[in-house]
Each structure stands twice: as C-alpha cells, then as structure tokens.
Amino acid sequence: MTADVRWPDGARSAVAVTVNFDGESVERTADPDAPQWGRFSYGRYGAQVGVHRLLDLFERSGVAATFFIPAWDAERHPDVAERVVAGGHEVAGHGYHHEDFSALDIEQQRDVLKRSEQGFERAFGQRPAGWRAPDGLMSAETRSLLAERGYEYESSFPDDDLPYVVATEGSDRLVELPVFAGASDHHYYRAHRLPAVVERAWQDEFDAVHRAGGLFNLTLHPRGDYGSGRAVRIGPIEALLKTVARRDDVWVATCREIAAHTLATAAGAPLPA
C-alpha cells in the first residue's frame, strides 16, 4: 500500500480543472452514418462556441486546466488547439476518435494510442503525458499499455480520494488521478438539472472533498448538450473557482503537476493495477 500523498505547501486539498473535449468525434463514433447536422452538431458547438467560453473563463480566473482531447478533434480545429496551448493549459490524450476502449483488444488499443500520439505531434508538437478513457471505458490491460508507452498518469478510475501509483507490468511509475461523476457537468446536465442546482452540488462536493483532504477533479465538457459551453452554465464554474481561490489551503494544479507530485512523494509499494 502506498502511504497517502501529502499536498505541497501544507495545502489541505487539491483541485484539478479538467475539460473532456468531446467534439464531433463523439457523434461520428456514435453513428458513423448519420450526417453531422442538426441534433448531431452539439460536438461542433463545443469547438465553435463552448470551448472559447471555457478558455475565456480560465483566462480571467488565472487557472491552468488540463484538456483531454481526441487527436482527431484537435486536428480538425487547429484554432482551438492553438488557443488551448497558448493559454498555458495542459493537453492530454482522450482516444484518437473518442473510441470505446473496452470494446478494443490490446493490439487495437495500442494502434489507437499510437495514432493519437501521432496526431498530438502534428497538432501540438508533443506527445501527451496523460490520458483519460473516453466515457471512462477501458479494459484490464489499458493501464499497463499506457505505462509501457511512457504515459505519466491516467485519470478514469473512481476508486480513491487521492491519487496513487499503479503497479503495472514492467513499470511502477503510472499515477492514477481518480475522477467522480459528482464533480462533473454531464452527470447533472444529462439529467436536465438546472445550473443553479449544479452550482450548489459542486460547492457541497468541493467542501466535503476539502474536509476529507482529497483531490477535487472537476470534469467539464464544452458541448452544448451535456456540457458547460452555454452562457448560462459558465456561472456555476466561475462560482466554484471563486470559492477555491478564496481559500489559501487548496493546491490548484494541472494533472501532470499532480501526477509528478504524487510520484515524488509516494512512499511504499504501488497498488497493483
């Protein structure tokens, strides 16, 4: 068992602001034959409208976020890719085309990761250091595969309050950054909850995680349907970021920074994958 990670500078809890850039690849994967119009254009809304709203908000809040981006979407929208990097945010993997990794065998997964990394080289001039499973779906081998390919962290498992080091075959350097539906937007908006309700829910979630000393892994989407891209949905995020900023005992960091800190301070044996 690893000893629990301690946050830097005496912080009581940590916050990662993350964005799953679920763009047009989501609609194309869901129904490859459906023309990308009408009800199949919410991913495009994310790229044309929503992501810019989130970037504007992060800019005025001084937050460095982590964007999990399918490489196909990054290449389709070079203006978005450029603005995300220029804003000082981290970019990390999220499939090539938002694939369901639980439905792929290990060779197929390896191939998708390779194509995603190549897409990142073209779109961002760098490989991703981190990864989050599209829709959180993966197989038992996926984390070993990520470790083998040199990823530093993974963020899909809702199985701990704190980040931990995963022991995979041939590596003990992959960090897991747990993630929870209660700290996401789509969990509420898919159920048609009101922004005011989401605002309250996030405040309660954050307060409780802070008291427990954990990682609040806020998960947002720029989409117009289940995401936070609409003007009315910026309010709850802004309110949460203000609450966080008012406290001097919260460490706000990118996923890569949190993973590096976890690895540097983790004592004891890593958890088996």
Partner 1 sequence: MPPASDERPQWPDGAKCIAAITVDWDGHSLEVGRDLEPVGIRAAGGYSARRGVHRMLDIFGRHEIAATFFVPGYDAEQHANGVRELIAAGHEVGAHGYTHESGVLGREEEQELLERSHAILSDVTGTPPVGWRSPSGRKTHWTTSVLRRLGYIYESSDKDYERPYPTVVEGEPSTEMIEFPNNTLGPGLDDAPLWTAGVAPYEVLDLWKAEFDAIYADEGYFVLTFHPRAGFGTGTPARAHVVDELLTHIRAHDGVHFTRFDELARWCLEADHGFLDPPARIGGRP
Smallest distance, partner 1 to C-beta of residue 158, A: 24
Residues of span 229-268 touching partner 1 by CB under 8 A: 230-232, 234-235
Helix, strand, coil distribution of the chain in percent, nearest 5:
50, 15, 35
Residue among 13 and 20 whose Cβ is closer to Zn ion: 20
| Cα–Cα distance for residue pair 174/151, rounded to 1 Å | 7
Q: Given the rule CB under 8 A, which of 87-95, 200-208, 226-234, 256-264 is the region that contacts partner 1?
A: 226-234
x/- map, 96-135, Zn ion, by CB under 5 A: --------------------------------------x-
Backbone conformation region of residue 221, classed left if phi is above 0, alpha if psi is from -120 to 50, else beta: beta
Task: Check residue 38 for interaction with partner 1 (CB under 8 A).
Answer: yes
CA 3 to chain centroid, in Å, comes to: 25
In degrees to the nearest 10, what's the CA dihedral of 211, 216, 218, 219? Answer: -130
Q: Quick one: which of 13, 18, 20, 25 contacts Zn ion (CB under 5 A)? A: 20
Diameter of the chain measured on Cα atoms: 53
Choose among Zn ion, partner 1, none what residue 134 binds, the Cβ cut-off being 5 to 8 Å by kind: Zn ion
Give start and end residues of each alpha helix (H) in 21-164.
24-30, 42-45, 51-61, 71-76, 78-86, 106-124, 142-148
Smallest distance, partner 1 to C-beta of residue 54, A: 12
Which spans of this chain sit near partner 1 (rule: CB under 8 A)?
33-42, 44-45, 48-49, 52, 79, 189, 191-192, 194-196, 223-226, 230-232, 234-235
